[in-house]
Amino acid sequence: MSEKKKGKLSPVIDYKKHEDPFSKGVAFCPGCGLELLIRFIPQVMGNDIVMTGTPSCSAPVLLGQNNQSWHSLSYFGTLMTGAAANATGLVRYYNRAGIDNTVVCFNGDGTAADIGFGNMSGAAERNEPFIYICYDNEGYMNTGIQKSGTTPYGASTTTTPVAKGSRGKNLRRMNLALKMAMSKIPYAATATLSDLGDLAKKLLKAKEMKKNGFCFLHVFAPCPTGWGYDPAMTVEVCRRAVKTNYFPLWEAENGKIRMTKTVNKPKPVEHYMEPIKKFKHLDDNDRAILQEDVDYELCMLGGLSILEKECVLPEAAD
C-alpha cells in the first residue's frame, strides 16, 4: 500500500467514550440534526443516564413502538405540560432512594419555550438537580411544522404561511437560553452541532454542575424537512448560524455569562438564510428586521458578559 498523507484524528472522537445505545436503523429523516444530537449525548455522558421526554420528534424513537425499543437507555415518557415536573419527581425519588444518577430531560423547543415553560421555570427556581436539554428546531416539526416561540421573524411555517394577508411569522423569536440564564441557575449554555467538541465539553460540564442544581442546555438542531434545505447542509447551516451570530455560543454559571466562541467578522444574516427555503420570500425590509434582532441579542449578551467587571448605569434622561 502506497504512503499517503495522514491528518490528525478529530479530537471529538476522544469524547465519545461510551457505546452508541441506539440501533442502527432508527426512524429519523435523513440529515436530521436531532438524530446526530441524540446519539451524541449518551456516547459522551454514558449509557447509565435516565432520559425523560415528551411527545415530539424524539418520542417515537425514544419511547419505542409496538412493544419494542430502539435503544437500550432508560426512558420515561411524559406529557408536554409536565416535562420538568416529572423529571423533578424522578430526581427526588432517586435522591430518597440514595441512587446517584443523571436525569436528562430531553425536549424540543415546543415543550421548553411554550407548553412546558411554566414548570421548567419552576424547576429552575427550586434548583432541582437535573439536566434539561432543549433541542431547538424552531417549530413543532413532529405535528407538521407549526410555529413556536423560538421560530424567527419572517419564517414560513404551516400556521404562518406565505399567502394572501400573511408573509411568514410576524413576531420576533424569544431567546430561551438567556431567559434561563437570568434564572441564575448553576449552569446554562447554548451549543450547536457544527462544534461538537464544544457541545461535548458543555455536556460533561453540565453533568459535573448537576450536583449544584438545575442545568439548562439549548442546542440548535436544524430540521431539513421543516425548513426546506438540502439534508447535506445540516451541519453547514449550524456553522453559518454561529458565523452570522444568529446563534451565539456562550455559557453562564450562576448567571455570569461568558462567550465560548467569538466571531471576529460576523457575516450578514443573509449568509445563514440563503440555503433555507422558509426564508426565501423575505425582502430587504424583513431581512433588516431579522438582522436587527440578531444584533440586539448579541449586544445584550455582550453587555451581560461585562457585568462582572464593571457596571456603569446609563444616566437617567428626565
Partner 1 sequence: MSKNTYFKHEGPWSDANDPLMCSDTGDWRTKRPIVDKDKCIFCGFCQIYCPVQVMEMVGDSHFEADLGFCKGCGICAQECPKQAITMVSEGEFVS
Residues that bind partner 1 (CB under 8 A): 1-2, 4-10, 12-13, 16, 20, 22-28, 30-33, 35-36, 39, 63-75, 193, 196, 224, 230-236
* Shortest Å distance, C-beta 186 to partner 1: 28
First-residue to last-residue Cα distance in the chain: 79
The C-alpha torsion from 217 through 222 and 227 to 228, rounded to 10°, is 180
Residue 133 C-beta: closest distance to partner 1, Å? 17
For partner 1, give the closer residue by CB, 70 or 106: 70
Q: Which three cell numbers stand for residue 183?
A: 434564572
The CB-of-11 to partner 1 minimum distance in angstroms stands at 9
Grid coordinates given for 280: 426565501
Q: For partner 1, which is the closer residue by CB, 10 or 262? A: 10
Using CA atoms of 283, 284, 290, 291 in order, give the dihedral in degrees to the nearest 10: 160
Q: In this structure, are residues 248 and 199 in contact, taking their beta carbons and an 8 Å threshold? A: no
145 burial class (0-12, 13-18, 19+ CB within 10 angstroms)?
Answer: buried
282 phi and psi angles, rounded to 5 deg: -70, 140
d(CA 88, CA 86): 5
In sequence order, what DSSP letters do the residues of 95-130 get, joined into one string?
Answer: HHHT----EEEEEEHIIIIIITHHHHHHHHHHT-S-
- In whole angstroms, the minimum distance from the beta carbon of 282 to partner 1 comes to 24
Nearer to partner 1 (CB atom), residue 28 or residue 214: 28
Q: How far is the CB of 256 from partner 1 (least distance, A)?
A: 30
Helix (H, G, I), strand (E, B) or coil at 188: strand
Say what angle helices 117-126 and 83-97 make with each other, to 10 degrees. Answer: 30
As measured in angstroms, the least distance from the Cβ of 25 to partner 1 is 4
Q: How far is the CB of 258 from partner 1 (least distance, A)?
A: 25
CB closer to partner 1, 180 vs 238:
238
Contact call for residues 55 and 142 (beta carbons, < 8 A): yes
What does DSSP assign to residue 165? Answer: T
| Nearer to partner 1 among residue 134 and residue 196 (C-beta) | 196
- The residue (of 43 and 102) whose beta carbon lies closer to partner 1 is 43
Cβ–Cβ < 8 Å for 112, 120? yes
SS3 content of the chain, % helix, strand, coil (to 5): 40, 15, 45
Amino acid at the residue 201: K
Considering beta carbons, is residue 31 or 110 the nearer one to partner 1? 31
Smaller CB distance to partner 1: residue 28 or 216? 28
Q: CB 24: neighbour CB atoms within 10 A?
A: 5
Tell me the closest approach of the beta carbon of residue 99 to partner 1, in angstroms. 15
By beta-carbon proximity to partner 1, the closer residue of 41 and 120 is: 41
Rounded to a whole number of angstroms, the minimum distance from the CB of residue 30 to partner 1 is: 4
